[in-house]
Amino acid sequence: MTERKQVAPVLMADSPAPDVSIVVPIYNEVESIPQLYERLTGELTALGVMYEIIAVDDGSRDGSYALLSDLAGRDSRLRVVRFRRNFGQTAAFSAGFDRARGQVVVTIDADLQNDPADIGALLARIDEGYDVVSGWRERRHDPFINRRLPSMIANRLISWATGVHLHDYGCSLKAYRTEVVRSIKLYGELHRFIPAIASWQGVAVAELPVRHAARQFGTSKYGISRTLRVLLDLLTVRFLLSYATRPMQVFGLFGFLSMVAGGVIAIYLTWIKFALGAEIADRPLLLMAILLIILGIQFLSIGLLGELMVRTYFETQSKPIYVVREELNQAPTDAVARRG
Ligand code: UDP
Ligand code: MG
């Protein structure tokens, strides 16, 4: 296993470091929590792993926190993080990842739609050597029109655009090696893209069919509007995956093509005006040439600005533009490149 720096913000003196950290995002799930807690602890005990459960209360207003703090008072393996307001599921996962002390992190929804009984199978695949194991809700119990259909389309698109081929990106039940998620910064609705973002680091991703149940208590926090946000995030991820370190190659290409097209048209118009004496002032083609040339200059400028920003981004934080798996006979002064 790769070496990892110990970054544990909250150290609990009385409990030894766990092997597995379970991260649960919770937003108004008070009715589900008792059963969730029972089933999770029962399953993890049966598996015989050292575990901790990190429940992240994402600004619930229904007494979820009171219930969690009551449970945490009796069980030191249940750690609770309470957000000041609702920051969203992605932020909740992120808070869990920051605090996870296990070598493996498992994420699971709090609403009992995911089955804790699948955790064992996920961990087994991690043991086989995979870095990310993603649940696949093969038989998903959600409404068709506003949830399953858009998600089918989104899954196809994500698969095609990111090159990481999964059937179900949206399933919360996933297992990761901790060092994989630690190094990923999450924004927006990006948690479903973790396997794709992690693929940049060269990780091995596996998919595993998991059970899925209809929601028993409370209501879903999402509707159809999420699809659009996911698609916009996909655009971001696609860009970051392929061109984050070389924006000029995207914008520059568009800019160059646009300027060449505009230039050719402009030369043609100049020629017919001076050589043939034709009127060009009232020709739409003239507007087209002007538009293309201006667009081209803008794209090129954006590309150059992008190049500056890439340098600022990577150099101010000494971020390497690569990820090292291991090094042999490493000189002690090479520390910079390993800083994550
Ligand atoms: N959730 C959260 N913050 C939010 C929305 C949802 O922590 O702003 C949690 C929610 O409590 C649940 C999980 O994320 O544990 C998935 O939410 P939900 O079941 O509503 O999504 P769906 O299963 O309908 O996609
Ligand atoms: Mg749900």
Atom of ligand 1 nearest to the CA of 88: 8
User: CA nearest 111: which of 168, 33, 42, 173?
Assistant: 33
Ligand nearest to the CA of 26: 1
Write out pLDDT tens, residues 264-311.
999 999 999 999 999 999 899 999 999 999 999 999 999 999 999 999
Contacts with 280 (C-beta within 8 Å, 6 or more apart), sequence order: 269, 272, 273, 286
pLDDT class of 92 with cuts at 50, 70, 90: very high
Ligand nearest to the CA of 221: 1
Tell me what pLDDT residue 5 has. 45
Which residue out of 35, 111, 169 has the highest number of ligand 1 atoms within 8 Å of its CB and is therefore the one to mutate? 111
Q: Using the mean position of ligand 1's atoms as its centre, give its distance from the Cα of residue 111 in Å.
A: 8
Atom of ligand 1 nearest to the CA of 110: 15
Write out pLDDT tens, residues 96-131.
999 999 999 999 999 999 999 999 999 999 999 999
Domain ranges of the chain: 20-243, 248-316
d(CA 77, CA 21): 10
- Rg for the chain, CA atoms, rounded: 25
Under CATH, to which class is 20-243 assigned?
alpha beta
